Amino acid sequence: RAKSAGGNRYELADPEADARVITRHGLTTALPAALERGEFFIEYQPLVHLGDGSVRGAEALVRWLHPQHGVLGPDRFIPLAEHTGLIVPLGRWVLEQSVRQARAWRERYGETTAAGPLRINVNLSPCQLTHPGLVQDTVDILERTGVAPDALCLEVTESALIGADDDLLKPLRRLAEMGVDIALDDFGTGYSNLANLRRLPVSVLKLDRSFTQSMQQFPADPVDLKIVEGIVALAHSLDLAVTVEGVETGAQAEQLRILGCDTAQGWYYARPGPPERLHELALVDATA
Ligand code: C2E
Ligand code: MG
Ligand code: MG
Ligand code: MG
Protein backbone atom coordinates (compact mmCIF):
# COMPACT_ATOMS: atom_id res chain seq x y z
CA ARG A 1 0.00 0.00 0.00
CA ALA A 2 1.18 3.52 -0.69
CA LYS A 3 0.21 6.56 1.27
CA SER A 4 0.15 10.17 0.28
CA ALA A 5 2.90 12.29 1.75
CA GLY A 6 1.56 15.60 0.52
CA GLY A 7 1.49 16.94 -3.05
CA ASN A 8 1.95 14.20 -5.65
CA ARG A 9 4.67 12.41 -3.76
CA TYR A 10 3.98 8.89 -2.58
CA GLU A 11 5.86 6.75 -0.09
CA LEU A 12 5.66 3.07 0.52
CA ALA A 13 4.27 2.32 3.95
CA ASP A 14 6.79 0.91 6.39
CA PRO A 15 6.27 -2.90 6.20
CA GLU A 16 7.06 -3.27 9.89
CA ALA A 17 4.46 -0.68 10.77
CA ASP A 18 2.02 -2.67 8.65
CA ALA A 19 2.86 -5.85 10.54
CA ARG A 20 2.27 -4.02 13.79
CA VAL A 21 -1.13 -2.86 12.60
CA ILE A 22 -2.04 -6.40 11.59
CA THR A 23 -0.89 -7.71 14.94
CA ARG A 24 -2.86 -5.06 16.77
CA HIS A 25 -5.89 -5.87 14.69
CA GLY A 26 -5.33 -9.59 15.09
CA LEU A 27 -4.90 -9.28 18.84
CA THR A 28 -8.00 -7.11 19.14
CA THR A 29 -10.22 -9.57 17.32
CA ALA A 30 -8.74 -12.52 19.25
CA LEU A 31 -9.46 -10.99 22.67
CA PRO A 32 -13.05 -12.17 23.29
CA ALA A 33 -12.29 -15.81 22.37
CA ALA A 34 -9.13 -15.65 24.49
CA LEU A 35 -11.20 -14.80 27.53
CA GLU A 36 -13.60 -17.67 26.80
CA ARG A 37 -10.76 -20.12 26.20
CA GLY A 38 -9.01 -19.17 29.43
CA GLU A 39 -5.83 -17.81 27.84
CA PHE A 40 -5.40 -15.10 30.47
CA PHE A 41 -3.60 -15.74 33.72
CA ILE A 42 -2.51 -13.67 36.68
CA GLU A 43 0.90 -13.19 38.22
CA TYR A 44 1.25 -11.84 41.74
CA GLN A 45 3.96 -9.50 42.97
CA PRO A 46 4.45 -9.21 46.74
CA LEU A 47 3.96 -5.95 48.58
CA VAL A 48 6.53 -5.70 51.33
CA HIS A 49 6.43 -3.67 54.52
CA LEU A 50 9.53 -1.44 54.44
CA GLY A 51 9.85 -1.33 58.21
CA ASP A 52 10.22 -5.06 58.89
CA GLY A 53 10.37 -6.67 55.43
CA SER A 54 7.21 -8.73 55.97
CA VAL A 55 4.92 -9.57 53.06
CA ARG A 56 1.79 -7.51 53.30
CA GLY A 57 -0.02 -8.84 50.25
CA ALA A 58 0.37 -8.77 46.48
CA GLU A 59 -0.61 -6.93 43.33
CA ALA A 60 -2.41 -8.93 40.64
CA LEU A 61 -0.93 -8.40 37.14
CA VAL A 62 -2.71 -9.97 34.19
CA ARG A 63 -0.94 -11.75 31.29
CA TRP A 64 -2.12 -13.37 28.07
CA LEU A 65 -0.72 -16.74 27.01
CA HIS A 66 -1.28 -16.25 23.29
CA PRO A 67 -1.23 -19.49 21.26
CA GLN A 68 1.10 -17.98 18.60
CA HIS A 69 2.90 -15.09 20.29
CA GLY A 70 3.59 -16.58 23.72
CA VAL A 71 3.12 -14.58 26.92
CA LEU A 72 2.03 -11.00 26.30
CA GLY A 73 2.24 -8.33 28.99
CA PRO A 74 -0.69 -6.06 29.83
CA ASP A 75 0.79 -3.10 27.98
CA ARG A 76 0.27 -5.07 24.75
CA PHE A 77 -3.43 -5.86 25.20
CA ILE A 78 -5.03 -3.76 27.97
CA PRO A 79 -5.26 -0.68 25.69
CA LEU A 80 -6.94 -2.86 23.02
CA ALA A 81 -9.35 -4.32 25.56
CA GLU A 82 -10.16 -0.80 26.74
CA HIS A 83 -10.83 0.27 23.17
CA THR A 84 -13.28 -2.57 22.49
CA GLY A 85 -14.93 -2.64 25.92
CA LEU A 86 -13.68 -6.17 26.63
CA ILE A 87 -11.86 -4.67 29.60
CA VAL A 88 -15.11 -4.81 31.59
CA PRO A 89 -15.55 -8.62 31.53
CA LEU A 90 -11.76 -9.12 31.58
CA GLY A 91 -11.40 -6.81 34.58
CA ARG A 92 -14.24 -8.60 36.37
CA TRP A 93 -12.50 -11.92 35.73
CA VAL A 94 -9.20 -10.58 37.10
CA LEU A 95 -10.99 -9.24 40.19
CA GLU A 96 -12.75 -12.53 40.90
CA GLN A 97 -9.62 -14.66 40.38
CA SER A 98 -7.52 -12.35 42.55
CA VAL A 99 -10.02 -12.21 45.39
CA ARG A 100 -10.30 -16.02 45.29
CA GLN A 101 -6.53 -16.22 45.50
CA ALA A 102 -6.55 -13.85 48.47
CA ARG A 103 -9.04 -16.11 50.22
CA ALA A 104 -6.78 -19.12 49.62
CA TRP A 105 -3.81 -17.24 51.12
CA ARG A 106 -5.91 -16.10 54.07
CA GLU A 107 -7.10 -19.64 54.73
CA ARG A 108 -3.54 -20.85 54.72
CA TYR A 109 -1.74 -18.05 56.56
CA GLY A 110 -4.46 -16.25 58.47
CA GLU A 111 -6.17 -12.99 57.69
CA THR A 112 -3.55 -10.70 59.09
CA THR A 113 0.15 -10.25 58.59
CA ALA A 114 2.62 -8.62 60.97
CA ALA A 115 1.77 -5.36 59.22
CA GLY A 116 -2.03 -5.64 59.12
CA PRO A 117 -4.61 -7.44 56.99
CA LEU A 118 -3.28 -9.48 54.08
CA ARG A 119 -4.14 -7.51 50.96
CA ILE A 120 -4.80 -8.15 47.32
CA ASN A 121 -4.29 -5.18 45.00
CA VAL A 122 -6.16 -5.16 41.67
CA ASN A 123 -5.78 -2.59 38.88
CA LEU A 124 -8.89 -0.88 37.52
CA SER A 125 -8.98 0.75 34.12
CA PRO A 126 -10.82 4.06 33.63
CA CYS A 127 -13.49 2.21 31.55
CA GLN A 128 -14.31 0.04 34.55
CA LEU A 129 -14.75 3.16 36.67
CA THR A 130 -17.45 4.51 34.39
CA HIS A 131 -19.15 1.12 34.02
CA PRO A 132 -22.37 1.15 36.10
CA GLY A 133 -21.86 -2.43 37.37
CA LEU A 134 -18.58 -1.79 39.19
CA VAL A 135 -19.88 -1.50 42.76
CA GLN A 136 -22.37 -4.37 42.50
CA ASP A 137 -19.87 -6.66 40.77
CA THR A 138 -17.34 -5.99 43.50
CA VAL A 139 -19.88 -6.56 46.29
CA ASP A 140 -20.99 -9.82 44.62
CA ILE A 141 -17.43 -11.10 44.28
CA LEU A 142 -16.59 -10.29 47.91
CA GLU A 143 -19.79 -11.98 49.10
CA ARG A 144 -19.35 -15.06 46.91
CA THR A 145 -15.80 -15.56 48.13
CA GLY A 146 -16.40 -14.51 51.73
CA VAL A 147 -13.46 -12.09 51.67
CA ALA A 148 -13.68 -8.97 53.83
CA PRO A 149 -13.63 -5.65 51.93
CA ASP A 150 -10.54 -4.52 53.85
CA ALA A 151 -8.55 -7.27 52.12
CA LEU A 152 -9.09 -5.58 48.76
CA CYS A 153 -7.26 -2.58 47.37
CA LEU A 154 -8.29 -1.23 43.97
CA GLU A 155 -5.59 0.68 42.09
CA VAL A 156 -6.65 3.58 39.88
CA THR A 157 -4.10 5.70 38.04
CA GLU A 158 -3.69 9.30 38.99
CA SER A 159 -4.32 10.31 35.37
CA ALA A 160 -7.71 8.53 35.37
CA LEU A 161 -8.85 10.76 38.23
CA ILE A 162 -7.48 14.10 37.06
CA GLY A 163 -10.37 16.47 36.78
CA ALA A 164 -12.75 13.69 37.90
CA ASP A 165 -16.24 14.98 38.65
CA ASP A 166 -18.49 13.68 41.41
CA ASP A 167 -20.20 11.16 39.11
CA LEU A 168 -16.90 9.45 38.45
CA LEU A 169 -15.93 9.48 42.11
CA LYS A 170 -19.28 8.20 43.41
CA PRO A 171 -18.61 4.45 42.85
CA LEU A 172 -15.14 4.81 44.39
CA ARG A 173 -16.67 6.58 47.41
CA ARG A 174 -19.21 3.76 47.83
CA LEU A 175 -16.43 1.17 47.72
CA ALA A 176 -14.28 3.16 50.14
CA GLU A 177 -17.22 3.44 52.56
CA MET A 178 -17.55 -0.36 52.46
CA GLY A 179 -13.92 -0.63 53.55
CA VAL A 180 -12.24 -1.29 50.20
CA ASP A 181 -8.94 0.59 49.91
CA ILE A 182 -8.40 2.77 46.88
CA ALA A 183 -4.82 3.42 45.76
CA LEU A 184 -3.70 6.18 43.43
CA ASP A 185 -1.35 4.33 41.03
CA ASP A 186 1.66 5.89 39.24
CA PHE A 187 1.38 8.89 41.53
CA GLY A 188 3.56 11.86 40.63
CA THR A 189 3.31 11.48 36.85
CA GLY A 190 -0.06 13.09 36.28
CA TYR A 191 0.58 16.70 37.29
CA SER A 192 -2.53 16.64 39.43
CA ASN A 193 -3.25 19.39 41.89
CA LEU A 194 -2.03 18.14 45.25
CA ALA A 195 -4.84 19.97 47.04
CA ASN A 196 -7.19 17.80 44.96
CA LEU A 197 -6.11 14.76 46.96
CA ARG A 198 -8.47 15.75 49.74
CA ARG A 199 -11.47 15.25 47.43
CA LEU A 200 -10.46 11.77 46.35
CA PRO A 201 -11.59 8.70 48.33
CA VAL A 202 -8.07 7.25 48.32
CA SER A 203 -6.13 5.76 51.21
CA VAL A 204 -2.88 4.82 49.47
CA LEU A 205 -0.49 6.68 47.16
CA LYS A 206 1.63 4.48 44.91
CA LEU A 207 4.64 6.55 44.05
CA ASP A 208 5.62 6.10 40.42
CA ARG A 209 8.67 4.06 39.48
CA SER A 210 10.43 7.16 38.14
CA PHE A 211 10.96 8.35 41.75
CA THR A 212 12.41 4.99 42.74
CA GLN A 213 14.75 5.12 39.74
CA SER A 214 16.13 8.45 40.87
CA MET A 215 17.11 6.81 44.20
CA GLN A 216 19.68 4.67 42.34
CA GLN A 217 22.63 6.34 44.02
CA PHE A 218 23.03 6.52 47.74
CA PRO A 219 22.59 9.30 48.73
CA ALA A 220 20.19 10.16 45.92
CA ASP A 221 19.78 13.45 44.09
CA PRO A 222 18.96 16.06 46.78
CA VAL A 223 16.09 17.60 44.79
CA ASP A 224 14.41 14.23 44.24
CA LEU A 225 14.90 13.46 47.92
CA LYS A 226 13.12 16.68 48.84
CA ILE A 227 10.24 15.93 46.46
CA VAL A 228 9.69 12.43 47.84
CA GLU A 229 10.07 13.74 51.39
CA GLY A 230 7.38 16.34 50.64
CA ILE A 231 5.00 13.82 49.09
CA VAL A 232 5.41 11.43 52.04
CA ALA A 233 4.80 14.24 54.55
CA LEU A 234 1.70 15.40 52.68
CA ALA A 235 0.39 11.83 52.31
CA HIS A 236 0.88 11.02 55.98
CA SER A 237 -0.70 14.29 57.08
CA LEU A 238 -3.78 13.29 55.03
CA ASP A 239 -3.69 9.78 56.57
CA LEU A 240 -2.62 8.12 53.35
CA ALA A 241 -0.12 5.27 53.21
CA VAL A 242 2.73 5.46 50.68
CA THR A 243 3.72 2.49 48.53
CA VAL A 244 6.71 2.64 46.20
CA GLU A 245 6.92 0.64 43.00
CA GLY A 246 9.91 -0.54 40.97
CA VAL A 247 12.36 -1.12 43.83
CA GLU A 248 15.26 -2.97 42.19
CA THR A 249 18.13 -2.49 44.66
CA GLY A 250 18.72 -2.60 48.40
CA ALA A 251 20.03 0.98 48.25
CA GLN A 252 16.72 2.19 46.85
CA ALA A 253 14.78 0.27 49.49
CA GLU A 254 16.93 1.74 52.26
CA GLN A 255 16.63 5.29 50.93
CA LEU A 256 12.84 5.00 50.59
CA ARG A 257 12.53 3.48 54.05
CA ILE A 258 14.49 6.39 55.53
CA LEU A 259 12.19 8.79 53.68
CA GLY A 260 9.24 7.23 55.51
CA CYS A 261 7.57 5.22 52.72
CA ASP A 262 5.41 2.43 54.14
CA THR A 263 5.32 -0.39 51.60
CA ALA A 264 7.44 -1.39 48.62
CA GLN A 265 7.18 -3.54 45.55
CA GLY A 266 9.81 -4.46 43.00
CA TRP A 267 12.29 -6.95 41.58
CA TYR A 268 14.56 -6.50 44.61
CA TYR A 269 11.95 -8.43 46.61
CA ALA A 270 10.35 -10.55 43.91
CA ARG A 271 9.30 -10.44 40.27
CA PRO A 272 5.63 -11.04 39.54
CA GLY A 273 5.07 -14.81 39.64
CA PRO A 274 2.62 -17.64 40.22
CA PRO A 275 0.63 -17.61 43.46
CA GLU A 276 2.78 -20.37 45.02
CA ARG A 277 5.68 -17.93 44.99
CA LEU A 278 3.90 -15.82 47.59
CA HIS A 279 3.33 -18.95 49.64
CA GLU A 280 7.11 -19.44 49.72
CA LEU A 281 7.80 -15.83 50.64
CA ALA A 282 5.13 -15.80 53.32
CA LEU A 283 6.46 -19.04 54.77
CA VAL A 284 10.01 -17.74 54.86
CA ASP A 285 8.64 -14.72 56.59
CA ALA A 286 6.62 -16.53 59.22
CA THR A 287 9.58 -18.65 60.26
CA ALA A 288 12.11 -15.79 60.23
P1 C2E B 1 1.27 -0.94 37.37
O2 C2E B 1 -0.05 -1.18 38.01
O3 C2E B 1 1.96 0.34 37.69
O4 C2E B 1 2.13 -2.22 37.74
C5 C2E B 1 3.51 -2.19 37.98
C6 C2E B 1 4.31 -2.64 36.78
O7 C2E B 1 5.70 -2.55 37.09
C8 C2E B 1 4.09 -4.10 36.39
O9 C2E B 1 4.24 -4.20 34.97
C10 C2E B 1 5.25 -4.81 37.09
O11 C2E B 1 5.58 -6.06 36.50
C12 C2E B 1 6.34 -3.80 36.89
N13 C2E B 1 7.39 -3.92 37.90
C14 C2E B 1 7.31 -4.39 39.16
N15 C2E B 1 8.47 -4.29 39.83
C16 C2E B 1 9.36 -3.74 38.95
C17 C2E B 1 10.75 -3.38 39.06
O18 C2E B 1 11.41 -3.55 40.08
N19 C2E B 1 11.32 -2.81 37.96
C20 C2E B 1 10.62 -2.62 36.81
N21 C2E B 1 11.25 -2.08 35.76
N22 C2E B 1 9.29 -2.94 36.67
C23 C2E B 1 8.68 -3.50 37.74
P24 C2E B 1 3.25 -5.07 34.10
O25 C2E B 1 2.90 -6.34 34.78
O26 C2E B 1 3.82 -5.14 32.71
O27 C2E B 1 1.94 -4.18 34.08
C28 C2E B 1 1.93 -2.94 33.43
C29 C2E B 1 0.66 -2.18 33.71
O30 C2E B 1 -0.47 -2.85 33.15
C31 C2E B 1 0.34 -2.05 35.19
O32 C2E B 1 1.12 -1.02 35.76
C33 C2E B 1 -1.14 -1.74 35.15
O34 C2E B 1 -1.35 -0.37 34.90
C35 C2E B 1 -1.59 -2.52 33.94
N36 C2E B 1 -2.28 -3.77 34.38
C37 C2E B 1 -1.74 -4.94 34.80
N38 C2E B 1 -2.71 -5.82 35.14
C39 C2E B 1 -3.89 -5.18 34.93
C40 C2E B 1 -5.28 -5.55 35.09
O41 C2E B 1 -5.65 -6.65 35.54
N42 C2E B 1 -6.22 -4.60 34.76
C43 C2E B 1 -5.86 -3.36 34.30
N44 C2E B 1 -6.84 -2.48 33.99
N45 C2E B 1 -4.59 -2.98 34.14
C46 C2E B 1 -3.61 -3.88 34.45
MG1 MG C 1 -0.89 -1.06 39.74
MG1 MG D 1 1.91 1.43 39.41
MG1 MG E 1 3.45 1.97 36.91
Tell me what pLDDT residue 111 has: 79
The pLDDT tens digits for 241-273 are 999 999 999 999 999 999 999 999 999 999 999
Best substitution site from 48, 204, 207, 245 to test ligand 1's pocket, by max atoms within 8 Å of Cβ? 245
In order, the DSSP letters of 207-238 are E-HHHHHTT-SSS--HHHHHHHHHHHHHHHHT
φ, ψ at 287 (rounded to 5°): -95, -5
What are the start-end ranges of the H helices in the chain?
15-37, 74-84, 87-109, 126-130, 134-145, 158-161, 166-178, 209-213, 222-237, 250-258, 275-287
Q: Which atom of ligand 1 is nearest to the CA of 267?
A: 18
Amino acid (1-letter code) at residue 73: G
Residue 243 CA to ligand 3 center (angstroms) comes to 9
Tell me what pLDDT residue 283 has: 44
Surrounding ion ligand 4 within 5 Å at CB are: 186
Which has the higher per-residue pLDDT, 3 or 42? 42
Q: What's the whole-model pTM score?
A: 0.91
Q: ipTM of this model? A: 0.98
As a whole number of angstroms, the distance between CA 82 and CA 73 comes to: 15
Best substitution site from 61, 90, 93, 131 to test ligand 1's pocket, by max atoms within 8 Å of Cβ? 61
Amino acid (1-letter code) at residue 235: A
pLDDT exceeding 70 applies to what percent of the chain? 86
Q: Whose CA is nearest to atom 13 of ligand 1?
A: 246
The per-residue b/e assignment along 141-151, b for 16 or more CB within 10 angstroms, e otherwise, is bbeebebbeeb
Ligand nearest to the backbone CA of 94: 1
The pLDDT tens digits for 104-123 are 988 887 777 766 778 999 99
Reply yes or no on whether the pLDDT at 139 is more than 60: yes
As a whole number of angstroms, the distance between CA 19 and CA 92 comes to: 31
Q: Which atom of ligand 1 is nearest to the CA of 73?
A: 26
The pLDDT tens digits for 12-64 are 666 676 666 668 889 999 999 999 999 999 999 999 999 988 888 999 999 99
**Ligand 1 in contact with 158 (CB < 6 A)?**
no
Reply yes or no on whether the pLDDT at 3 is more than 70: no
φ, ψ at 283 (rounded to 5°): -65, -45
**Ligand 1 in contact with 246 (CB < 6 A)?**
yes
Q: Whose CA is nearest to atom 25 of ligand 1?
A: 61
Contact 90, 98 (CB under 8 A): no
Reply yes or no on whether the pLDDT at 144 is more than 90: yes
Crossing angle for the helix pair 15-37 and 87-109, to the nearest 10 degrees: 60
